[in-house]
Amino acid sequence: METINIGLIGTGFMGKGHAMAYQMVPKIFSPAPAFPNLVVVGDVTEDLARKGARDFGAEGWVVGWEQVVDDERVDLVDITTPNNLHKEIALASAKAGKHIYCEKPLALTGKDAKEMYEAAARAGVITMVGFNFIKNPVALLAKEMIEAGELGEIYHFRGSFHQDVLADPNAPFSWRFDRLIAGSGALADLGSHVIEFARFLVGDFERVCGLAKTFIEERPLAAGVSGYRSKATSEGSTRTVENEDSIHFLIEFKGGATGTIEASRIATGRKVFMAYEVNGSKGSLHFVHERMNELNVYLSTDPTGRQGFKTILAGPEHPYYESFWPVAGIGLGYEDMKIIEVYELLDALANNEPAYPDFKEGWKVCQVIDAVLLSVEEGRWVSVEEI
């Protein structure tokens, strides 16, 4: 079996998720298409990098990211840093001829994402973007049902991603609130997943019209670590939030369907309310990630008087599930979607074929984000082609 040597950059929330997936893929998928071998991790301080290497079982660690890309052993560069670094690291990786696995959103702007896509395509390297929610077996079932025409003509897509992880006004200012590091707020961070879902299930966007708002305008400064793990300093100083807490936008799809997407990082009571509903001429699908092993299906072909939403529990009849467990009802978790994502990436690398979603798809999502932001700024409908 071929070994893929991996250099992981960033050891935070997602760094851990990717590292766990590398360890689990050969155990879940036997035989794995290739063996993922984590050779080096990079982070901003020696403490973080050393800890990452120890916890994730990597052979070595470095401070920063450049040495990861330059490391001759590394075949695949894995980017789990905050958003602003994705472009620089990806361009350097493509130049070095390395395959690239990058977290979402691919870049801060559609223009940057396109540059990354073109550089990777020129270099002939394989790319993947971490839109893991579409790897849920019931998401793949939803896709199968729509493609088979079971819902008929698709009329509507309504999607949302609501969380309350940052609803506390005392949650400190971390990189997610900094426009230069994160780009937009709830839209890029949470909404990007839903945009990918809408594209995956329904198709290309024609135009969008959005409304964004920042409700918590000042936050205490953070001490220590970055991301969700950060704590406020005791000094009482604050910093102004630079991007939106919430986004709502209307969609017209190229194929004629209409829809809405909403995302909020301050939606009290919601944890990972990543939800979608698709309505078609013959039926509907409804899903919410907080019950991630359930797909709710309504078919108007059911007999009159017996119609209604039914819940299909994820099971071995659905894509990938059987590799995990032989019976329905045990259920998969968040990490299992990352395991499926990494499996597909290794399969693509072993067979020298494109992975999905790749940098081209990551660029298309960033293009929609830009169109929504322009629409918010100018208070009008914006066609995605304008971007």
Ligand X SMILES: NC(=O)c1ccc[n+]([C@@H]2O[C@H](COP(=O)([O-])OP(=O)(O)OC[C@H]3O[C@@H](n4cnc5c(N)ncnc54)[C@H](O)[C@@H]3O)[C@@H](O)[C@H]2O)c1
Residue nearest to ligand X as judged by C-beta position: 12
> Among 33, 36, 82, 357, which residue sits at the site for ligand X (rule: CB under 6 A)?
82
Region near ligand X per CB under 6 A, out of 5-13, 158-166, 309-317, 359-367: 5-13
5 binds ligand X (CB under 6 A): no
The runs of H, that is alpha helices, within the chain are: 13-28, 46-56, 66-70, 86-95, 110-123, 137-147, 179-182, 186, 192-201, 321-324, 334-351, 359-378
Torsion of CA 304, 309, 315, 320, to 10 degrees: 110
Q: Of 34, 39, 48, 134, which lies in the binding site for ligand X, with binding defined by CB under 6 A?
A: 48
Question: Does 28 contact ligand X by CB under 6 A?
Answer: no
Whichever of 131 and 298 has its CB closer to ligand X, that residue is 131
* Stretch (H or E) spanning 354: none
Site string for ligand X, 223-252 (x = CB under 6 A): ---xx-------------------------
Q: Does residue 109 bind ligand X (CB under 6 A)?
A: no
Closest CB 238 distance from ligand X, rounded Å: 20
> How many CB atoms sit inside 10 A of residue 351's CB?
11
**Burial tier of 337 (Cβ tally within 10 Å: 0-12, 13-18, 19+):** buried
Asked if 83 interacts with ligand X (CB under 6 A), we say yes
75 is an interface residue for ligand X by CB under 6 A? no
Look at the chain and count its residues. 387
If one asks whether residue 71 binds ligand X (CB under 6 A), the answer comes out as no
Closest approach of ligand X to the CB of residue 12, in Å: 2
Of 90, 47, 83, nearest to 65 by C-alpha is 90
What H or E segment, with its residue span, contains residue 331? none
Q: What SS3 state is found at 70?
A: helix
Count of residues engaged in binding ligand X, rule: CB under 6 A? 25
Compute the CA torsion angle 364, 369, 372, 377 (nearest 10 deg): -130
The span of 12-20, 32-40, 148-156, 290-298 binding ligand X (CB under 6 A) equals 12-20
Distance, in Å, from the CA atom of 373 to the CA atom of 348, rounded to the nearest integer, reads 34
Q: Kindly indicate which of the ranges 8-16, 28-36, 273-281, 285-293 contains the residues binding ligand X, using the contact rule CB under 6 A.
A: 8-16
Q: Could you identify the residue written with the tokens 């074929």?
A: 353
* 331 binds ligand X, rule: CB under 6 A: no
Q: Name the minimum Å distance from CB 317 to ligand X.
A: 26
Rule CB under 6 A: say whether 65 interacts with ligand X. yes
Only one of the segments 75-83, 152-160, 255-263, 348-356 lies at the binding site for ligand X (rule: CB under 6 A); that segment is: 75-83
Binding letters toward ligand X, positions 286-325, x by CB under 6 A:
----------------------------------------
CA distance 108 to 113: 8
* Choice between 42 and 259, CB closer to ligand X: 42
SS3 109: coil
The residue from 8, 14, 348, 368 that contacts ligand X (CB under 6 A) is 14
Among 9, 34, 190, 247, binds ligand X (CB under 6 A): 9
| Contact positions with ligand X (CB under 6 A) in 139-198 | 189
Q: How far is CA 321 from CA 12, 29, 51, 147, 242, in A?
A: 27, 11, 33, 20, 41
Q: Rank residues 206 and 336 by Cβ distance to ligand X and give the closer one.
A: 336
Contact 129, 104 (CB under 8 A): yes
Strand order, beta sheet including 76-79: 60-63, 35-43, 3-9, 76-79, 99-102, 127-129
When asked if residue 130 is in the footprint of ligand X (CB under 6 A), the reply is yes
Binding site for ligand X (CB under 6 A): 9-15, 42-44, 48, 64-65, 80-83, 85, 103-104, 130, 132, 189, 226-227
